[in-house]
Structure 1
């Protein structure tokens, strides 16, 4: 008789002060899953950190003279990103290892002989997977973006390679207003188009503004440069010309100026001053950035940002997919120990990330919608895991 259970108990229920009852089966499997999960987090984090950060930092220390103290600081800030990536992998490894061991030791056979279904047996793994999914989402929203940003900032500052926090060329912004139609309905009407050829971090250069704010009288403003005046909450244009255009397309007036203050939105400056890495922002920050991008008319970047938002939501649920798949595969009789489980985990992880890479590429190319590109790997994995569970339960 397997030593893992005491079958003298008439029931797998245990009295508890909790508002729900935990069975002996749940407590036993949960305790078995904890250690392999922590081992998986440590193992996969170490591998990912070595490949994704450590080797690059060592190269920067030898080639670019990065100080050792700065390298340790950057390394510390980069670790949370790789820990979050290891959570789904550790879920897969722990469920596969534990259920494979229970199957090898014939404990699953004994439990199923007692009338416990395979669906009930993997319930603790599903609960663990959902918990890790929530943990992964919280980790990626609250810790990883800030840590990744600090790592980039520290590294660039140490190497004196400060990345410009602005878009250098071709800043385009379209401003709209609510307009009332003849039938009483309201629609969005184009009010202004703002274009600047270059931004050096302090001032815009070679600007053109097309103004359609007044019916029948449109203006064209050109200037060599412009700066944002925070005190007046307006733009100071220098060395430019204002063309007033009549409704029939003829020039009504031409005004040259050395300096002219014009009341325009500062959104173009916000758009030019912010070009961050999506990995350094949480979902809310990406959504705010997306609003600016939509105003600029850059649909390609907008599609990419929509894809990143969906990926940030979809990624934590891969913990559920991996937990379901690992537990189901583990219930099948198999020879081999931890080495076999680790090898199977690597294959499943490789297939998932290969599919994710393909879907991400298709999403950016607009072959797939942002929702499809982000969720397809997770949905495909969930369907595959459900099918395997159904086969095991027959």
Structure 2
């Protein structure tokens, strides 16, 4: 690696680290730290546990922060080099613009690889760890908020996929629910409901529409209902522990 590359990369790394700290402070202070502090003071949760929850939340933030920090680092680096007339000096020395951008490309590829690693490995891992740390506490609501989904095996080769727009974990209510039920021959039925609860081993859907599907995927019957019940394989608590937000999943999932 030439002296020019090392020099530019050194500037990039310094500004990148600054960007990571800046964006992490902004994103966490705006909501997460406030809620954790509030819960710590009100619920008597130990400081060690609060710190653990905060640290395990960082990977999900890094997926968004790293690209922003790369952009900020690149802007700050080129601005400083330009203001000190170093870009002009490089051009006068015969360094082309393409040659000048090579360190930026190398650093961007590295940052992209790190982002993929965090998304594929550390985000799912941190999600599971957070679930363990918050189980049985009011902190569960920090994890289960909106746009989540989970699967349920209904027996006899039937599988259900739930998409939930919002979860009210305190009341035990799923809001804006879509359920797709699949059998061996394809989709069997679709249920759209304003809300759903899990009561006495049953899913109870309220104010929705049920679509019964034919073998070819066509709609055979449409039923509007005020209340519809189907058998549930597990309780709401166990079900919520399986739900995932898209940003918590790996590409394979």
TM-score (norm 2): 0.62
Aligned to 2:252: 284
Match of 2:50 in 1: 71
For residues 282 and 133 of structure 1, what CA distance do their matches in structure 2 show?
Answer: 15
Aligned length: 204
Mapping for residues 12-161 of structure 1, pairs under 5 Å? 22-159=1-138
Which of 204, 221, 232 pairs up with 2:202?
A: 204
Distance in 1 (CA, whole Å) between partners of 2:122 and 2:62 is: 11
Q: Structure 1 residues 143, 47: CA separation in 2 closer, same or farther (over 3 Å shift)?
A: same
Cα deviation code 1:343-365 (max 9, x no counterpart)? xxxxxxxxxxxxxxxxxxxxxxx
- Structure holding more strand per residue: 2
Q: Relative to structure 1, is the Cα distance of residues 206 and 63 closer, same or farther in structure 2, using a 3 angstrom cutoff?
A: closer
Aligned residue in 2 for 1:5: none
Query: Does the CA-based 8 Å contact 1:168-1:199 persist in structure 2?
Result: no
- SS of alignment partner, residue 282 of structure 1: coil
CA deviations 1:247-293 (Å, max 9, x no partner) are xxxxxxxxxxxxxxxxxxxxxxx9998543223322322xxxxxxxx
2-structure distance, mates of 1:211, 1:104: 66
**Partners of 2:175 and 2:77 in 1: how far apart?**
54
Task: Give the whole-Å Cα distance in 1 for the aligned partners of 2:139 and 2:20.
Answer: 34
The answer (yes or no) to whether the contact 2:203–2:232 under 8 Å persists in 1 is no
Query: Cα 1:136–1:201, aligned 2, differ >3 Å: closer, same or farther?
Result: farther
Task: Mark the runs of 5 or more structure 1 residues left unpaired by the alignment.
Answer: 1-21, 179-187, 214-222, 229-269, 286-394
CA distance in 1, matches of 2:60, 2:68: 14
- The Cα of 1:109 is off from its aligned counterpart by 0.8
**Residues 1:202 and 1:99: Cα distance change in structure 2 (over 3 Å):** same
What aligned pairs does 1:279-318 form with structure 2 within 5 A after superposition? 279-285=247-253
Q: 1:201 to 1:113 in 2, by over 3 A?
A: farther
User: Does structure 2 retain, via aligned residues, the 8 Å contact 1:61–1:68?
Assistant: yes
Does the CA-based 8 Å contact 2:9-2:103 persist in structure 1? yes
Distance 2:139 2:55 in 1: 20
Larger Rg: 1
Aligned residues of 2:131 and 2:241 also touching (Cα < 8 A): no
Equivalence for 2:160: none
- Contact 1:168 1:200 survives alignment (8 Å): no
160-169 vs 198-207, which moves further:
160-169
Deviation for aligned residue 1:28: 2.3
How far off its partner does 1:140 sit? 1.4
- Contact 1:145-1:280 at 8 Å conserved across structures: yes
Q: Which has the higher contact order (CA 8 A, sep 6+)?
A: 1
Cα distance in 2 for partners of 1:273, 1:152 equals: 7
Q: Classify 1:81/1:172 alpha carbon distance in 2 versus 1 (closer, same or farther; 3 Å).
A: closer
Structure 2, unaligned runs of 5 or more: 142-168, 216-227
The Cα shift of 1:123 comes to 1.8
User: Which structure shows the bigger proportion of residues in helix conformation?
Assistant: 1
Distance 2:68 2:178 in 1: 42
Query: Is the CA contact 1:206–1:224 (under 8 Å) kept in the aligned structure 2?
Result: yes
Cα root mean square deviation, aligned:
4.1
1:231-270 pair list within 5 angstroms = none
Q: Quick one: distance in 2 between partners of 1:280 and 1:205?
A: 25
Q: Distance in 2 between matches of 1:160 and 1:109?
A: 55
For residues 227 and 58 of structure 1, the distance between their equivalents in structure 2, rounded to whole angstroms, comes to 37
